[in-house]
Amino acid sequence: MSPRRSGQKLILSGRTLTSLDHSKTLFECRVANNSKVMVLGKRFDPEGDEAFKRVAEVEKRSLEVGKRLAEVAKEAQDIEDGYLAKEHHAQAREDLALALVVAYLGSSSNSTVAASFRL
C-alpha cells in the first residue's frame, strides 16, 4: 500500500512544505525543472488505525446480521411452504419476531430486551 496523503511529507530545497502550501502552485513553491523533491511517508497500518478498526467491526457485524436474517427468512419460507403444523404457527411467528429483533440488536445478549417484543 502506498502512504496516505495525510501520512506524507514533502521536502523541497531543505524546506518542508506545510498545509499552507497546499493551495499554491508548483511555481509559487519554487519547484522548477530539475528540482529535487523528497517525499517521505509512512505506510498505512490498518491494525494501528482506529477508524479502520471501527469500519472493519461494523462490516463484521453487518455480515453477522445478514446471516441471521437469511436464517430467519428461510424459517419463514419453510412455514409458508407448509413444513409446520398450523397449530404451531403463532408460536413460530413469535419466535421469528424475536429472532429478527435479536438480529437487529446485533447480539443474543440483548434477548431480555427482545423478549418484551411481540407481534
Question: What is the maximum alpha-carbon separation in the chain?
Answer: 85
SS3 assignment, position 40:
strand
pLDDT averaged over every residue in the chain: 79
Q: How buried is residue 102: exposed, middle or buried, by Cβ count under 10 Å (0-12/13-18/19+)?
A: buried
Please state the rounded mean pLDDT for residues 29-55. Answer: 82
Please tell me the predicted confidence (pLDDT) of residue 17: 79
Report the chain's terminal Cα–Cα distance, integer Å.
Answer: 50
pLDDT digits (tens, 9 = 90+) for 70-119: 988 998 898 889 888 889 888 998 888 888 888 777 654 444 544 454 44
Please state the rounded mean pLDDT for residues 37-64. Answer: 84
Please tell me the predicted confidence (pLDDT) of residue 108: 44
**Of 28, 33, 30, which is closest to residue 14 (Cα–Cα)?**
30
- Could you state, in order of their start, the residue ranges of all structural domains in the chain? 5-41, 56-115
